[in-house]
Structure 1
């Protein structure tokens, strides 16, 4: 079978871009996962949150299949999470706090879909912030994905 030079060139270029990790802008949509440990030594105590992000515009992102979970072994602290976005200005926009209001043995919060975070400024990246509420302070971790609409 003969392959034209043009076809061969397109195939080689596509393979090179994939090898370098360069993919279409829609690749920024997708799954995000974040975990916070209660104790500095790590272990499984703490909480986690994950969702599928869908960037719908420069100022809007939708969270689908969003779950917040208090992880075992139980540490006696509640786990909270919120949608979070870094704007072009460098400031952060935050959604409302949600919580896994039970213990690590309870059902997690979610999954919920169609939760939107809409802002008045361009969202450069969006994600989830999950925290263990230690009473006198929050111990938090965050993960983000880039918004393809603000490149």
Structure 2
């Protein structure tokens, strides 16, 4: 690594930003046949996790889990709802709370999405060990950003 602290190549933010764009680009051709964008895929992953645990999702819980604000998440949910994958409802006990549930079509999409993770592994050309290392390192950065108040959740 260069000794110049302002060199572009020395910036962690640059490496993470470029890696993120590149990885999302690898996902695009895999998600297009599912009718999902990458952000929508992340929402569906969170909902599938909750569905498997039989845990009801609220917009607030999803926003925290995905490190998004409700204003960013709401259009994603609206789009997923327009595609028939989720259903949003206001809670009877508290109209401020919006719950999000998978539809039958949203649950069925999970089976079609099973091919995405192994295809991403193949597309990166990295080993599972290498990808797990990247995941652990990126998770440390996410945790640091959360502790610093830069991320929700």
Q: Normalising by the residue count of structure 2, what TM-score does the alignment of the two structures yield?
A: 0.23
Q: Give the greater-gyration-radius structure (CA).
A: 1
Q: Which has the higher contact order (CA 8 A, sep 6+)?
A: 1
